[in-house]
Amino acid sequence: MLNKSDREFDFTNEDFTRARKLIYQYAGIALAETKAELVYGRLSRILRNQGIRSFKEYLDSLMGTHNQRALEEFINALTTNLTSFFRENHHFPILAEHLASLNAPITIWCCAASTGEEPYSIAMTACEVFETVTPPVKIIATDIDTNVLLQAESGIFSSHRISKLSEDRREQFFLRGTGKQEGFVKIRQELRNLVSYQHLNLLNHRWPLHNAFDAIFCRNVMIYFDKTTQTKILHQFLPLMKPHALIFFGHSENFMYQSEDLKLCGKTVYKLKQQANTHHAL
Ligand SMILES: C[S@@+](CC[C@H](N)C(=O)[O-])C[C@H]1O[C@@H](n2cnc3c(N)ncnc32)[C@H](O)[C@@H]1O
């Protein structure tokens, strides 16, 4: 089925298996067996751009490679970056209430930030709670995909991305592009200043983070990992949570039975069960 004759590049079952193994090894992403077409479509762009003649040649060049740029491109091609402003909106009133109860300075980690809609939604919520565009909040936004991080850092979005936001939010937090920038909006610099971006692979055993957080957003990324990886990552989060911290997951990510240390306190929102036993600084 994979060797369709009208394909530009040969793509065998073996090529697909190798690509699956590699993305699992480097990013923890467990691609289903049904994703062959997706892998072909995303990776064939790289082959075309680089004038590589076959998947075998391409995958050979990645094996045991020290070519970080090539691996980065491979990973970037296979991540799924779907996101939106105030996605799973029910989490934001919970965040607002949590922020209002905390002492400054407040730090939040958004660990699969994609193109920035999620960290900027957190920033907007903080501005609304503290009624200023300079709230005492720092957001660290990370992702494995270096392309989305660049996009997020730019703070520029097509106008339709914010069409579902209230007029208040659109007016208060975005600048509308004119001339060549027509059809685009830019997040206000004050909000941009609240967020710092960093490359981080959740699969790594050590994360370059030094302090515990008041809240962690880890939404719609654990679904790409298998149970073993999820459990390992869940346990790495624990020492990064302050005793009162909340951790937010995506709608289909239920970890009730994977960690005895977390207690459900809202729809896919958890807090530490035994606050006293958890370290709050590394
Ligand atoms: C579907 S998006 C979710 C974006 C956002 N959290 C949301 O809920 O709208 C998943 C993101 O997880 C990132 N990702 C996948 N594997 C990762 C890993 N091993 N480490 C860090 N980020 C990863 C992808 O690059 C992608 O941007």
Binding residue positions: 81, 83, 87, 118, 143, 201-202, 219-220
CA pair distance 281, 241, nearest whole angstrom: 8
Per residue in 103-123, pLDDT (tens digit) is: 999 999 999 999 999 999 999
The 10 Å Cβ neighbour count of residue 253 is 17
Per residue in 11-64, pLDDT (tens digit) is: 999 999 999 999 999 999 999 999 999 999 999 999 999 999 999 999 999 986
The range of the structural domain enclosing residue 69 comes to 13-78
Which of 120, 145, 109 shows the shortest CA–CA distance to 219?
109
- Are residues 96 and 235 located together in one domain of the fold? yes
Contacts of residue 112, defined as CB under 8 A and 6 or more positions apart, other chains included, come to: 118, 142, 143, 202, 217, 218, 219, 220, 221
What CATH code is carried by the domain that includes residue 73? 1.10.155.10
Per residue in 209-218, pLDDT (tens digit) is: 989 999 999 9
pLDDT of residue 2: 52
Q: Number of structural domains, the chain?
A: 2
Atom of ligand 1 nearest to the CA of 115: 27
- Are residues 165 and 256 located together in one domain of the fold? yes
- Are residues 68 and 126 located together in one domain of the fold? no
Is residue 139's pLDDT more than 70? Answer: yes
- Are residues 54 and 99 located together in one domain of the fold? no
Among protein residues, the one with the nearest Cα to ligand 1's atom 17 is 144
Is residue 126's pLDDT more than 80? Answer: yes
Percentage of the chain exceeding pLDDT 90: 87
On whether residue 39 sits in a domain, the answer given is yes
Atom of ligand 1 nearest to the CA of 203: 19
On whether residue 6 sits in a domain, the answer given is no
Among residues 78, 106, 133, the one where a domain terminates is: 78
Q: Please report, to the nearest 10 degrees, the dihedral formed by the alpha carbons of residues 152, 128, 247, 144 taken in order.
A: 0
CA pair distance 55, 36, nearest whole angstrom: 13
pLDDT of residue 278: 47
- Are residues 38 and 154 located together in one domain of the fold? no
Q: 72 alpha carbon to ligand 1 midpoint, in Å?
A: 14
Among residues 50, 78, 106, the one where a domain terminates is: 78
- Are residues 99 and 198 located together in one domain of the fold? yes
- Are residues 104 and 240 located together in one domain of the fold? yes
On whether residue 282 sits in a domain, the answer given is no
- Are residues 125 and 146 located together in one domain of the fold? yes
Q: 84 alpha carbon to ligand 1 midpoint, in Å?
A: 12
pLDDT of residue 64: 67
On whether residue 8 sits in a domain, the answer given is no
Q: 246 alpha carbon to ligand 1 midpoint, in Å?
A: 19
Q: 52 alpha carbon to ligand 1 midpoint, in Å?
A: 28
Alpha-helical runs (H) found in 155-238: 167-173, 189-192, 227-237
On whether residue 4 sits in a domain, the answer given is no
Per residue in 213-233, pLDDT (tens digit) is: 999 999 999 999 999 999 999
- β-bridge mates for residue 181, sequence order: none
What CATH code is carried by the domain that includes residue 131? 3.40.50.150
- Are residues 111 and 66 located together in one domain of the fold? no
The 10 Å Cβ neighbour count of residue 13 is 12
Which of 79, 142, 197 is the best mutation target for the ligand 1 pocket, counting ligand atoms within 8 Å of the beta carbon and taking the most? 79
pLDDT of residue 254: 83
List, by residue number, the catalytic residues.
42, 143
Atom of ligand 1 nearest to the CA of 250: 8
pLDDT of residue 256: 74
On whether residue 86 sits in a domain, the answer given is no
Among residues 78, 99, 130, the one where a domain terminates is: 78
CA pair distance 248, 266, nearest whole angstrom: 9
On whether residue 55 sits in a domain, the answer given is yes
More confident residue, 96 or 6: 96
- The count of C-alpha atoms lying within 13 angstroms of the C-alpha of 49, restricted to the half-sphere facing its C-beta, is 9
Q: Which one-letter DSSP state was computed for residue 257? A: T
CA pair distance 44, 41, nearest whole angstrom: 6
β-pairing verdict for 213-218 and 156-158: unpaired
- Are residues 177 and 230 located together in one domain of the fold? yes
Among protein residues, the one with the nearest Cα to ligand 1's atom 11 is 112
On whether residue 149 sits in a domain, the answer given is yes
Binding residue positions for S-adenosyl-L-methionine: 81, 83, 87, 118, 143, 201-202, 219-220
The pocket around ligand 1, CB under 6 angstroms, is made up of 27-29, 79-83, 87, 112, 114, 118, 143-145, 148, 201-203, 219-221, 224, 250
- Are residues 50 and 152 located together in one domain of the fold? no
Atom of ligand 1 nearest to the CA of 87: 9
- Are residues 140 and 205 located together in one domain of the fold? yes
